Structure formats: structure tokens, C-alpha cells
């Protein structure tokens, strides 16, 4: 159980998919113009990740090693379809805002990476915790980037105005370049924090 919890924590902190591994960046830059969008896509990805890594974990003994990648992709495509239909039915507004990035979850490198590196070799419980950790780490990263961009671009947090009207908004933050800049500085911040924490321990 302790080991499982460590798996869980690893994805959120030490091996955060965005800030440490710098994978799965496309949706990160595209949809994080607000916190809600970021969390929405993060949770959708988490659902697909959890479901498909568990399925891969259970069927791994039946998959021939040579064709495992196509099999993994079919599994994640199945769950992506399920999630995209559910989003369309229950959260139509969010679905419209996220657009093609919901179907694009299927080619999210994070999912394929966890299937290949972890789910195909470990027991179900560890896989579940690993996927939850990685998925939550991904969601938190998206929310953080979304928060910075929403605050600076629209002057709002969760849609509520917090910066007075008199202060001009920085439209650039909402446009594609803002995503690149915010991500760059958040990765630098994460590195700085890690360097300091690492020094404290040693």
C-alpha cells in the first residue's frame, strides 16, 4: 500500500508529465485559456488514461509483443470515443470549447507512454495508482497554466473578475504565444523549487 501511494505521489510531483517529463504538450498549450478548460481536459484525459491502462494491464498476456502498440492505440481510441460521447451529452459547452482536443486524447503521448512503460509490466493496483497520479499531475499542470493565462489575459479566476477594470488585460496571454511563455516560466519555476528542495535534503 505504501508503495502504491508512492506511485501516486510520483506522478504528481517528481515525474509530473508536464513539468518534469515535458510530454503531452499539445493539448496543454491549446486549451489552457481558462482554468475550467484546463481541468475539463485534464479530467477527461485522466478518465481515458485510467480506463485504458487498466484494460491493458488485464489483457497484456494475450497481446503478442510485436503488435502491442496498435493494440494499445485501439484500447485508448475506444475509451476516447466513450469519453467524447459522454462529454457531448453532459457538458456540451465544455465540449465545444475543447473542440478537436477531446478526440485527440487518443494520441496523447502520456497515455501510450504509461501503457508501454508501466501498465504492461505491473499489477493492477499499482497501475491504477500510477494512472491516477499521472492523470492528476497532468490535470493540476493544466489548471496551473490555465490559471495564469486566465488571470493575466481576462483578469478573472474561474470566470470571476479579480483584477480591476482599470488595469489593462494582456491579450497575448490568451493567444497561442502566451501558452508557450507561461509553460516555459512554470517549468523554470518547477526546476527552481526542485533545486531548492533537493539542496535542503542533502
Under the binding rule (CB under 8 A), the answer on residue 170 touching other proteins is: no
State the minimum distance, in angstroms, from the CB of residue 115 to other proteins. Answer: 12
- Whole-angstrom distance, CA of residue 161 vs CA of residue 141: 22
Under the binding rule (CB under 8 A), the answer on residue 63 touching other proteins is: no
Residue 161 vs 188, nearer CB to other proteins: 188
Q: Which of 80, 95, 131, 139 binds other proteins (CB under 8 A)?
A: 80
In the region spanning residues 110 to 139, those forming contacts with other proteins, defined by CB under 8 A, are 112
Q: First CA to last CA across the chain, in angstroms?
A: 27
Site string for other proteins, 145-164 (x = CB under 8 A): --------------------
Q: Which residues bind other proteins (CB under 8 A)?
A: 22-27, 29-30, 69-70, 73-74, 77-78, 80-81, 84-85, 100, 103-104, 106-109, 112, 172, 175-181, 183-185, 187-188, 191-192, 195
Amino acid at each position: 500500500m505504501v508503495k502504491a501511494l508512492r506511485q501516486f505521489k510520483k506522478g504528481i510531483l517528481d515525474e509530473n508529465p508536464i513539468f518534469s517529463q515535458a510530454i503531452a504538450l499539445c493539448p496543454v498549450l491549446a486549451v489552457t485559456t481558462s482554468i475550467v478548460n484546463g481541468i475539463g481536459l485534464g479530467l477527461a484525459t485522466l478518465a481515458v488514461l485510467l480506463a485504458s491502462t487498466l484494460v491493458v494491464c488485464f489483457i497484456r498476456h494475450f497481446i503478442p509483443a510485436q503488435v502491442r502498440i496498435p493494440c494499445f492505440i485501439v484500447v485508448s481510441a475506444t475509451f476516447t470515443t466513450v469519453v467524447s460521447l459522454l462529454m457531448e451529452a453532459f457538458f456540451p459547452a465544455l465540449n465545444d470549447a475543447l473542440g478537436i482536443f477531446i478526440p485527440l486524447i487518443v494520441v496523447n503521448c502520456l497515455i501510450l507512454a504509461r501503457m508501454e512503460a508501466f501498465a504492461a509490466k505491473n499489477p493492477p493496483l499499482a497501475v491504477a495508482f500510477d494512472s491516477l497520479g499521472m492523470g492528476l499531475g497532468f490535470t493540476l499542470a493544466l489548471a496551473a497554466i490555465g490559471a495564469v493565462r486566465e488571470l493575466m489575459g481576462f483578469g478573472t479566476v474561474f470566470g470571476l473578475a479579480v483584477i480591476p477594470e482599470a488595469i489593462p488585460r494582456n491579450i497575448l496571454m490568451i493567444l497561442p504565444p502566451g501558452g508557450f511563455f507561461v509553460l516555459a516560466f512554470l517549468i523554470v519555476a518547477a526546476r527552481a523549487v526542485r533545486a531548492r528542495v533537493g539542496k535542503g535534503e542533502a
